[in-house]
Chains A and B, each alone.
Chain A
């Protein structure tokens, strides 16, 4: 009886879970192995008898050194970081204000505005990038970080607003009313009472916004043209492939290094990220 139970747990739980873990994490393992593998081993045919694809006997850092020394990768990292931080801050401020207005204030058209903001959340970048490129060029913002700092918030503000609106609604009204009886203005109560209480929600929205801006690709691809302005995803795609030749060692080293900042932010705030993820879907 006990043995049968154990057997069942293996079949229905441990084996599927292990398969999920392998499927999920193998590409990252593969990225790492490729990044530390010397070129001679990297381009050995798959039928070569001495091929050891799953590990390497002579790990090397040459790809990382090459990446940092011969390409603009450090600059791309810095650009991506700056753009992600600025657009996250812009989106958080807009989202906090708009979320508060929609959650707490009574005014005509509030329901319509809430819906309109939600709908913009569902307009994909791929529908807009062609005219936007023209508009950005017209505003003299082409090939500057501002092109992305101003357009990324369009992706981020809608869900920041919705997430925070939901969060503000859960804060008891009495808290604010007490402050108002003590003579605080509406604005003052919002900034000094509501926002501090909502810090977990704001953090969730912020982490989520940061990872999304780090991930964005098509706007960066279309709006930026010179090597030193690029973000990590665009730089890796356009500069590490020369002609038809893929420098796989450097590509994987770049993929790994480019993932580290988001992975770090994520690992410190996993719980907030998950809260943001599930909160943004529940609306």
Chain B
């Protein structure tokens, strides 16, 4: 299978030098590593590292579409900081991330525990449960928006006919309601991800441990709290960190569900940055707004890296 280079070179002495110069060069681990890493690193450098540096530069200038900006120091950051819509957006982002993560973790853990049992059609149900995570968020969020529609909401219809409400609920027309609706949709979308990864973690736990705990008289809750939860903690932390980053930087769900409204009450940092940077064309201000996400994400990533190191060390 792999006899190619050696035997061909022996048969044709003339070609041997050419072949082996290349081969010898690629036999050097450093050279080969550089060659193999080059394409990926080039793409990441061109479209992540470089734009990141540009984002910082943009945020320090008054650049807008069509004009080259001049340096203005931290004026953009100061302006955003004193902007009440930005303040709301930043608070919303933290609120949204916190509650969505709490719900996703709780429901995801519950679902994982349910799916870890033996029942009929298990594989099929497990596959169905991942659908919200597979289907493009924008498209499924439209279905939710239609379900929350002020005039034609099926949820209002159901609650009304059950006799639980006498007038319709203002799902997306009230700022607070709309925020909770967004959290609900995010939870719907993200729970499967938590459930499936936690389920994978659950399956690595030795059932003997549960049996031993049960023999010692531990009830189901104690077995979960003292056996399952500690063993699952490493997987849980990784999933939570990953989800926090995704949720904190979320854009599409709010963009489709509320568009930041009503009256700018449900903007997240990312949607507000889009409105200022792309819609109004104020690239500098928009870049500054999105950079406000950076310190939070940086802390989360730092935590993740230190934690991973410790895991590898242990």
Contacts and interface: CB of A to CB of B under 8 A. Distances in A.
A20 B128 CA distance: 11
Interface string A122-147: 11111111111111000000000000
Contact of B3 (A23, A183, A233): A183
B37 A258 contact: no
Nearest to A189: B2
Given A122-B301, A133-B278, A154-B44, A259 B139 contact: yes
Interface stretch (A56-64, A65-73, A109-117, A198-206): A109-117
Interface in B272-302: 273-274, 277-278, 283, 286-287, 290-291, 293-294, 297, 300-301
A184 B131 contact: no
A107 B278 contact: no
Given A98-B41, A113-B41, A217-B137, A128 B142 contact: no
Contact of A98 (B36, B119, B283): B36
A283 B52 contact: no
Interface string B45-56: 011111110110
B197 A278 contact: yes
B146 A30 contact: yes
B52 A281 contact: no
Interface in B118-140: 119, 125, 127-132, 134-140
Given A117-B40, A277-B193, A132 B129 contact: no
Nearest to A152: B47
Interface of B is mostly: helix
A248 B146 contact: yes
Given A187-B32, A281-B238, A233 B139 contact: yes
Contacts of A158: 44
Interface in B207-257: 235, 238-239, 242, 245-246, 248-252, 255-256
Contact of B157 (A53, A113, A132, A270): A53
A120 B110 CA distance: 32
Given A132-B51, A154-B48, A188 B5 contact: yes
Contacts of B114: 13, 16-17, 20
B4 A128 contact: no
A107 B297 contact: no
**For chain B, which range describes its interface: under 10, 10 to 19, 20 to 34, or 35 or more residues?**
35 or more
Interface stretch (B80-88, B94-102, B148-156, B173-181): B148-156
A4 to B, nearest CB: 15
Interface of A: 13, 16-17, 20-21, 23-25, 27-28, 30-31, 34, 42-47, 51, 53-54, 90, 93-95, 97-98, 100-102, 105-108, 110, 113, 115, 117-120, 122-135, 150-151, 153-154, 157-158, 161, 179-180, 182-189, 192-193, 211, 214-215, 217-218, 221-222, 232-234, 236-237, 246, 248, 251-252, 254-255, 258-259, 262-263, 266-267, 270, 273-274, 277-278, 281-283
Interface of B: 1-7, 23, 26-27, 29-30, 32-34, 36-37, 39-41, 43-44, 46-52, 54-55, 57-58, 107, 110-111, 114, 117, 119, 125, 127-132, 134-140, 142-144, 146-147, 149, 151-154, 156-158, 160, 168, 188, 191-193, 196-197, 200, 235, 238-239, 242, 245-246, 248-252, 255-256, 269-270, 273-274, 277-278, 283, 286-287, 290-291, 293-294, 297, 300-301, 304-305, 308
Given A120-B48, A259-B136, 5 more contacts: A153-B47, A189-B2, A215-B137, A233-B138, A278-B196
Sorted nearest first, the 9 A-B pairs with minimum C-beta distance are: A184-B2, A124-B249, A183-B6, A94-B40, A131-B54, A126-B270, A278-B200, A255-B139, A233-B138
